């Protein structure tokens, strides 16, 4: 966010900023969603809705999970939230008490750690490196002194884009069930995957509910669906947790934004999918440009980006202060990057995240500028 602020300032003074720091698509919501929004504004009251979200949306999300993963999901299993961020806060509050231990991967999405810490939980960060694709494993959980109250996994992950193999995700889910650990599976980057050893655009990514209906699956319209600012996410929740979530959500937010809910019903149809798959094809091309261009600049230590729209690079040969390096790069080139320190408070001093969600020409231009700066 500091880099974004500096980038906005530079855009004002120099007008030359290329943002590869943002974790969001550079495209608007699908056309079918935009049309539905205009119609809803003319025809709907748009007042408070049911706390867990309007039925047509919960049905559309349930159908999305049934058809993508072949799992049995009904509208009652779905809790619509204010972004997946809202889902995380709700489930943390409902499931954990102050003092509970919750395990996350390092590097990882910083909001898990920050929100859990604010709620008084003890966050255990597992040091996850390239040997496990930056993902936690059952062996790491076995090595803990005692089973934690919760485990959060993200596949594809932010900042690495790496995925957990289907068999390992199933093993993690079984381990959690066997040890009374709540598995929270962040699946918000599903739909954005590339043909690597672990993933394929043709094969659906595996979901935690394929193994355990005691786990929490988290989804969002922010990433694949290109709707970050609409603030809409969801979770699949076991029945026993719903009363607590109902009470928390109705007190904290009453309901997710009504206009976003009415519109998002149309994000799951064939027309939207065709448009959104087009974005994924552009991300795939951008990813290739970065994966072949960065090594030519001497940046060779890259995480295998199976999905999402990030390349996470170790730049220990360039800096031991990623925040200062990103600030310098922005000052000298106008290219905004995300410092690794955001995602990894230990090794992130020498890592950086490149987001390739933007236009192809911008990625090429950013590489040119970085090349001139580094040589």
Can you give the binding site for ligand PLP, defined by CB under 6 A? 23, 83-85, 109, 154, 158, 186, 188, 220, 222, 228, 233
Residues 6+ apart with CB under 8 A from 122: 99, 100, 101, 102
Is 182 or 367 the residue whose CB approaches ligand PLP more closely? 182
- The one-character DSSP state at 281 is H
Q: Measured from the CB of residue 222, what is the shortest distance to ligand PLP in angstroms? A: 3
Sign for the pseudo-dihedral over CA of 10, 11, 16, 17: positive
Is 211 or 220 the residue whose CB approaches ligand PLP more closely? 220
Which residue lies nearest ligand PLP, judged by its C-beta?
Answer: 83
Residue pointed to by tokens 């993200």? 154
Pairing state of beta strands 216-220 and 233-236? antiparallel
Is 132 or 371 the residue whose CB approaches ligand PLP more closely? 132
Is 83 or 166 the residue whose CB approaches ligand PLP more closely? 83
Is 101 or 160 the residue whose CB approaches ligand PLP more closely? 160
In whole angstroms, what separates CA 145 from the centre of its chain?
A: 29
Q: Measured from the CB of residue 253, what is the shortest distance to ligand PLP in angstroms? A: 13
Q: Measured from the CB of residue 229, what is the shortest distance to ligand PLP in angstroms? A: 9
Q: Which two tokens stand for residue 298?
A: 């001497």
Is 259 or 374 the residue whose CB approaches ligand PLP more closely? 259
Q: Are 345 and 9 in contact (CB under 8 A)?
A: no
Q: Are 71 and 92 in contact (CB under 8 A)?
A: no
Q: Are 33 and 221 in contact (CB under 8 A)?
A: no
- What element of type H or E holds 184? strand 182-186
Q: Measured from the CB of residue 84, what is the shortest distance to ligand PLP in angstroms? A: 3
Q: Measured from the CB of residue 168, what is the shortest distance to ligand PLP in angstroms? A: 18
Q: Measured from the CB of residue 38, what is the shortest distance to ligand PLP in angstroms? A: 23
Is 211 or 260 the residue whose CB approaches ligand PLP more closely? 260
Q: Measured from the CB of residue 371, what is the shortest distance to ligand PLP in angstroms? A: 28
Q: Measured from the CB of residue 101, what is the shortest distance to ligand PLP in angstroms? A: 20
Is 307 or 334 the residue whose CB approaches ligand PLP more closely? 307
Q: CA-based angle 297:135:19, to the nearest 5? A: 40
- What element of type H or E holds 235? strand 233-236
338-352: burial string, b at 16+ Cβ within 10 Å, e else = bbbbbbbeebbbbbb
Is 231 or 282 the residue whose CB approaches ligand PLP more closely? 231
In whole angstroms, what separates CA 266 from the centre of its chain?
A: 21
Long-range contacts, stretch 115-120, CB < 8 angstroms, 24+ apart: 115/88, 115/89, 116/92, 119/92, 119/93
Is 235 or 349 the residue whose CB approaches ligand PLP more closely? 235
Q: Could you give the dihedral angle defined by the CA atoms of residues 355, 359, 361 and 363, in that order, rounded to the nearest 10 degrees?
A: 0
Q: Which two tokens stand for residue 105?
A: 């991967």
Q: Measured from the CB of residue 112, what is the shortest distance to ligand PLP in angstroms? A: 8
Q: CA-based angle 168:170:172, to the nearest 5? A: 70
Q: Measured from the CB of residue 99, what is the shortest distance to ligand PLP in angstroms? A: 24
Best CA proximity match to 154, nearest among 138, 144, 169, 140: 169
């Amino acid at each position: 966010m500091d880099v974004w602020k500096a980038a906005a300032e530079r855009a004002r003074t120099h007008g030359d900023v290329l943002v590869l720091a943002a974790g969001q698509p550079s495209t608007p919501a699908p056309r079918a969603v935009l049309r539905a929004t205009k119609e809803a504004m003319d025809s709907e009251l748009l007042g408070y809705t049911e706390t867990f979200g309007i039925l047509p949306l919960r049905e559309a999300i349930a159908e999305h999970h049934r058809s993508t993963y072949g799992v049995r999901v009904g509208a009652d299993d779905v809790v619509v939230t204010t972004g997946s961020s809202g889902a995380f806060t709700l489930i943390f509050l409902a499931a954990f008490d102050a003092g509970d231990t919750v395990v996350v991967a390092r590097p990882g999405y910083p909001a898990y750690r920050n929100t859990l810490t604010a709620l008084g939980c003890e966050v255990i960060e597992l040091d996850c490196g390239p040997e496990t694709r930056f993902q936690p494993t059952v062996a790491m959980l076995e090595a803990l002194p005692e089973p934690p109250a919760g485990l959060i996994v993200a596949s594809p992950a932010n900042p690495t884009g790496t995925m957990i193999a289907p068999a390992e995700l199933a093993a993690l889910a079984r381990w959690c069930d066997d040890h009374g650990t709540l598995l929270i599976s962040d699946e918000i980057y599903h739909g954005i995957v590339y043909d690597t050893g672990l993933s394929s655009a043709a094969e659906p990514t595996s979901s935690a509910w394929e193994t355990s209906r005691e786990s929490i699956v988290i989804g969002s319209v922010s990433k694949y669906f290109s709707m970050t600012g609409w603030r809409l996410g969801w979770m699949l929740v076991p029945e026993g947790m719903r009363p607590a979530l109902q009470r928390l959500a109705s007190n904290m937010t009453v309901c997710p934004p009504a206009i976003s809910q009415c519109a998002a019903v149309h994000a799951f149809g064939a027309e939207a999918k065709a448009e959104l798959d087009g974005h994924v094809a552009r991300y795939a091309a951008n990813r290739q440009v970065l994966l072949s261009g960065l090594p030519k600049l001497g940046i060779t230590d890259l995480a295998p980006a199976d999905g999402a729209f990030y390349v996470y690079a170790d730049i220990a040969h360039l800096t031991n202060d990623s925040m200062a390096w990103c600030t310098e790069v922005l000052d000298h080139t106008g290219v905004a990057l995300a410092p690794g320190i955001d995602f990894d408070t230990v090794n992130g001093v020498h890592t950086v995240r490149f987001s390739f969600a933007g236009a192809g020409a911008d990625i090429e231009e950013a590489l040119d500028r970085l090349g001139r700066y580094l040589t």
